[in-house]
Amino acid sequence: MKVLVLDGNQNQAVASVRSLAHAGHVVWVGESASWSKAGWSRFCHGSFQYPAPRKHAEAFVEKIAALVRQEPGTLILPMTELTTLPISTHRDVLISAGARLVLPDHADLLRAFDKDATTQLAASLGIAVPRTVVVSSLAQARDLASSTSYPVVLKPRASEELTRYGKVRTAGRPRYASNIEQFEAAYRDISGRASAVLVQKFIAGEGMGYFALMNHGDLRAEFAHQRIRDVYPTGSGSALRKSVPPDPEIRRSSLAMLRALRWHGVAMVEFRRKGSQPPVFMEVNGRFWHSLPLACYAGADFPTMLARMAENGDIEPSNSYRIGIRCRWLLGDARHLLEVWKGAPAGFPGRYPGRMGTLLSVLMPVPGTYHDLFQLRDPLPELGDWISFAQRILRKQPSEESSHV
């Protein structure tokens, strides 16, 4: 089967290309830039460039549809919300062109991408959630700032939004506040890039996730990992992690959420947990996650399983994988070190790593550790990762990886 892997500068795109090619699929990689690290993989059959979905969502969809018409039955795999949103919105165009898609109904997808909607859903299912208020005006923000208890987290209602003009807007990262001044500054920043802002009580603890492949609300495969180091020490984007059995309580809550969403395809459900306290729901990421390479190395080959489900309509459940496998994102670990050296961001109330301890842990090799991108038989995606990052720094573009992986 021919597969179009989009968002080629994502780590999950590299993992998908390798996985799908090994399974015998013909994989093409797309990106809005003229090249991508996944497109540099020796397992990529060919690359293509598409119009930037942020500016030209409909033209982006038409480009994908034109490629599908050349070979009906082609599977489209978006890796981020940036490409998933317009593909889901215009799915009729793609399906009529002969595309295969593994996505939930559009209304369910929008609900999953809406952090306020999923928080309300979790609460209705009896799952612990942070105290949450949606703020949509400066006056409302000022009233809340003077009455709320601190510390709080302010975040966009959705990571990516499809505007009424047909463009996809990236809302960016959360901010933290421990007083009124920090609250108002954070609100002004986020409201300039999002239609609404969520204000949540800061939840201390370890970030934990549950990863699944669902077939219209029924579980087909699962995975879990333990974060060892995050790119951002505030708790976002893992740089080093290892495979672990799913936490029973998190597994139960995650499946309740995904079944209620009638989810179809892959998803991650994220929680925070402190000690023996109940896990607190954070968000749903309804797409492939940035740390997907670890799952593939451990034997939970989500891209291949999803492709098989797209071809055959269903697959047998497969919930076994190797425990204790470690996987590292080299650039992410370097960025973790830089973030630690810069110090905690303004208003962050949590525990922050020490500089010397972090330096030693990053530099100390652990035998048997896999790498997200580097392989001796396929080294170019690693090089492409560093070049892409350098280009973004020079252009002062935001980092492309998702906030929670």
Angle between helices 106-113 and 81-89 (to 10 degrees): 150
Q: What angle do CA 295, 300, 108 make, to 5 degrees?
A: 85
- The predicted pLDDT at position 67 comes to 98
Is pLDDT at 402 greater than 50 in this prediction? no
Neighbours of 123 (CB within 10 A): 13
Does residue 151 have a cis bond before it (omega within 30 degrees)?
yes
62 with 39: CB under 8 angstroms?
no
Cα separations in angstroms, 208 against 256, 273, 319:
16, 7, 18
Is pLDDT at 76 greater than 60 in this prediction? yes
* Residue (of 346, 310, 329) closest to 389 by Cα position: 329
For residue 215, list its beta bridge partners: 218
Is pLDDT at 401 greater than 50 in this prediction? no
Burial class (CB in 10 A: 0-12, 13-18, 19+), 197: buried
Q: Backbone phi, then psi, for 72, in 5-degree steps?
A: -55, 145
Rounded Cα–Cα distance for residues 241 and 246 (Å): 14
Q: List, for residues 152-178, the tens digit of each pLDDT value.
A: 999 998 887 766 666 677 767 889 999
One-character DSSP codes across 106-156? HHHHHHHH-HHHHHHHHHHTT-----EEEE-SHHHHHHHHHHSPSPEEEEE
Is pLDDT at 404 greater than 60 in this prediction? no
Q: What angle do CA 215, 218, 220 make, to 5 degrees?
A: 70
Confidence of residue 204 (pLDDT cuts 50, 70, 90): confident
One-character DSSP codes across 353-370? --HHHHHHHHHS--TT-E
Is pLDDT at 111 greater than 80 in this prediction? yes
What's the whole-number mean pLDDT along residues 140-153? 93
Token pair recorded at residue 17? 């290309």
Cα dihedral 52/136/403/353 (nearest 10): 140
Rounded Cα–Cα distance for residues 206 and 279 (Å): 9
Rounded Cα–Cα distance for residues 373 and 383 (Å): 9
Rounded Cα–Cα distance for residues 86 and 82 (Å): 8
Q: List, for residues 290-335, the tens digit of each pLDDT value.
A: 999 999 999 999 999 999 999 999 999 988 999 999 999 999 999 9
H-helix segments, 155-301: 180-191, 248-260, 292-298
Per cent of the chain over pLDDT 70 is 96
